[in-house]
C-alpha cells in the first residue's frame, strides 16, 4: 500500500500526520511511505529523518495525492486540496464536517473514502481525538492567561493572583478530556476553578480527581449564566461526537459580562459553543465581542507541533496499520472503532451525526461491509 503524507496547508498549521518512527513501522510492514518535502519541518522533523527510515521525500503535494492509496493528514482538506482528492483513495484525518458543508460537499463530490479521527470510537471513548483534546485543554489556560493581560485586551488579572490578592475565576464548560485538562492546568496555575457538566458520575470523578480543590457543578442554563457573570476566564470544552457543539453562551449574556473577560472556545472546530464564536488563527487569535475578548483558534494544538505530532502518531498509527494491511473494507469488517469513523465512501455519507448537523441523507455501513 502507498501511504502519502502531504504538508499541511491550513494557516499556521505546523503539525504533520506521521513521525519518522511511524513511517518506519509502516515500511517495516511492507508499505511505501511518501512524504512531501519539508512537510515535517514545522514539527522539528527533517526530510533526512524520513529518508533514513526508508520513506521517499517528494517535491509536491500534487504528486502525493496523485500516487497514494491512503492519504494521512492532520486537518480537514482545504479548498486548494479539493481538486486533488480521488475516488480510489482513502483519507484518514480530522474532518469536523458538522461545521463545514463546503468540505462535506467536496468529499462527496470527489467520491473519496474518508475516516475521521474524531469519530473513531472505543467503548464510548474517542481515542484519536483524545490526544489533541489533551493538548488543547492544557493550552487553553495558558492562552487565556496571556489574553487576560491588559496589553492583550483583557482585564489585567493574573490567573494565579499573588498573596493577598485573589486569583482569577476560571469557568470550564464540559468535563470531558479537554475540560479536565483545562481545569488541571488552571488549578495548577493557582486559579479558582469551577467546572460544569451534566454527567453526575463524571462530576463525582472530577471531585475525587482534584481532591475537592476544583468546584464541580451540575450544568443548567441558570448556573452557566450565574457563573459566567462572575468569571474572569471562560473555557468552552463541550463535545457532541461528530455533531455541532451546542451554544451555551449567548451574545446577550456576553454583553453583561465584566469588561475584559476572556472566552476561549476549544469547541470551535465543531462550530463553537459560544454564539459569537468564529474561527481565528494563531497569527490573529482574538477579537472583541462587546467588552470581552474571544480566542477561537481552530487548530490550537498546531501551536505546539512537536508535542502534538508525537501524540497524534502514537494514537493513529495502530489504526493506520490496520487500514494499510487489510484495505478499507477488510479493516472495517474487523474493526468496530473504524466503522464508527467512516464518514464518506463512493459519494455517500456514512456518519449519522454529520447527516443530522447538515440535513443530509446517510447510508448504513452494513451496505458496504455486509
Q: What is the CATH number of the domain that holds 86?
A: 3.40.50.720
91 contacts 112 by C-beta, under 8 angstroms: yes
Does 175 lie in the same domain as 71? no
pLDDT of 9: 95
**Contacts (Cβ under 8 Å, ≥6 apart) of 107:** 77, 85, 91, 95, 97, 114, 343, 344
Q: Are 252 and 148 in the same domain?
A: yes
Is the domain of 213 the same as that of 337?
no
> Considering the entire predicted model, what is its pTM?
0.93
266 and 220 in one domain? yes
- Mean pLDDT per 10-residue interval, the chain, length 370 residues: 97 95 98 98 98 98 97 97 97 94 97 97 95 97 98 97 97 97 98 97 97 97 98 95 89 98 95 96 96 96 97 98 97 96 97 94 91
Pairing of strands 348-349, 342-345: antiparallel
Under the phi-then-psi rule, with left for phi > 0, alpha for psi from -120 to 50, and beta for the rest, what region is 288?
beta
Give how many domains the chain has, as a whole number.
2
Strands of the sheet containing 348-349, edge to edge, are 56-58, 32-36, 2-5, 70-72, 90-93, 113-116, 342-345, 348-349
Residue finishing a domain among 275, 303, 331: 303
- For residues 68 and 171, membership in a common domain is answered with no
Q: What is the pLDDT of residue 277?
A: 97
358 and 327 both lie in a single domain: yes
Name the catalytic one among 197, 232, 265, 269. 269
pLDDT at position 114: 98
Same domain, 173 and 41: no
Residue 99: predicted pLDDT: 86
User: Do 320 and 176 belong together in one domain?
Assistant: no
Exactly one of 96, 187, 192, 345 is catalytic; name it: 96
pLDDT digits (tens, 9 = 90+) for 197-216: 999 999 999 999 999 999 99
As given in the structure block, the three cell numbers for residue 58 are 517528494
Residue 277 near residue 303 (C-beta atoms within 8 A): no
Domain span at residue 241 reads 130-303
User: Are 182 and 240 found together in one domain?
Assistant: yes
pLDDT at 183: 98
Q: Is 31 an annotated catalytic residue?
A: no
269 is catalytic: yes
Note the pLDDT of residue 243: 80
- Give burial (CB, 10 Å; 0-12/13-18/19+) of 168: buried
Amino acid at each position: 500500500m502507498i501511504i502519502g503524507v502531504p504538508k499541511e496547508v491550513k494557516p499556521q498549521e505546523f503539525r504533520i500526520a506521521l513521525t519518522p518512527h511511524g513511517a518506519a513501522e509502516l515500511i517495516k510492514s511492507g508499505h511505501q511511505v511518501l512524504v512531501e518535502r519539508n512537510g515535517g519541518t514545522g514539527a522539528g522533523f527533517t526530510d533526512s529523518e524520513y529518508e533514513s527510515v526508508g520513506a521517499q521525500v517528494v517535491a509536491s503535494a500534487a504528486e502525493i495525492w496523485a500516487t497514494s492509496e491512503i492519504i494521512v493528514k492532520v486537518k480537514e482538506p482545504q479548498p486548494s486540496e479539493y481538486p486533488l482528492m480521488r475516488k480510489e483513495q482513502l483519507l484518514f484525518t480530522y474532518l469536523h464536517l458538522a461545521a463545514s458543508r463546503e468540505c462535506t460537499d467536496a468529499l462527496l463530490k470527489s467520491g473519496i473514502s474518508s475516516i475521521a479521527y474524531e469519530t473513531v470510537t472505543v467503548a464510548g471513548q474517542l481515542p484519536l481525538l483524545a490526544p489533541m483534546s489533551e493538548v488543547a485543554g492544557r493550552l487553553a489556560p495558558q492562552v487565556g492567561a496571556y489574553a487576560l493581560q491588559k496589553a492583550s485586551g483583557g482585564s489585567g488579572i493574573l490567573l494565579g493572583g499573588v498573596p493577598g490578592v485573589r486569583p482569577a475565576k476560571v469557568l470550564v464548560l464540559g468535563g470531558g478530556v479537554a475540560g479536565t485538562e483545562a481545569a488541571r492546568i488552571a488549578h495548577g496555575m493557582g486559579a479558582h476553578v469551577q467546572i460544569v457538566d451534566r454527567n453526575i458520575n463524571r462530576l463525582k470523578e472530577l471531585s475525587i480527581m482534584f481532591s475537592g480543590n476544583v468546584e464541580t457543578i451540575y450544568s443548567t442554563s441558570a448556573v452557566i449564566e450565574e457563573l459566567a457573570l462572575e468569571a474572569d476566564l471562560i473555557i468552552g470544552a463541550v463535545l457532541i461526537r461528530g455533531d455541532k457543539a451546542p451554544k451555551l453562551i449567548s451574545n446577550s449574556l456576553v454583553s453583561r459580562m465584566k469588561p475584559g473577560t476572556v472566552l476561549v472556545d476549544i469547541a470551535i472546530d465543531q462550530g463553537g459553543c459560544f454564539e459569537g464564536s468564529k474561527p481565528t488563527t494563531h497569527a490573529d487569535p482574538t477579537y472583541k465581542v462587546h467588552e470581552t475578548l474571544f480566542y477561537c483558534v481552530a487548530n490550537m494544538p498546531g501551536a505546539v507541533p512537536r508535542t502534538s505530532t508525537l501524540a497524534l502518531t502514537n494514537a493513529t498509527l495502530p489504526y493506520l496499520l490496520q487500514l494499510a494491511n487489510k484495505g478499507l473494507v477488510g479493516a472495517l469488517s474487523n474493526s468496530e472503532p473504524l466503522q464508527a469513523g467512516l464518514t464518506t465512501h463512493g459519494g455517500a455519507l456514512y456518519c449519522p451525526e454529520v447527516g443530522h448537523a447538515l440535513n443530509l441523507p446517510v447510508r448504513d455501513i452494513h451496505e458496504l461491509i455486509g
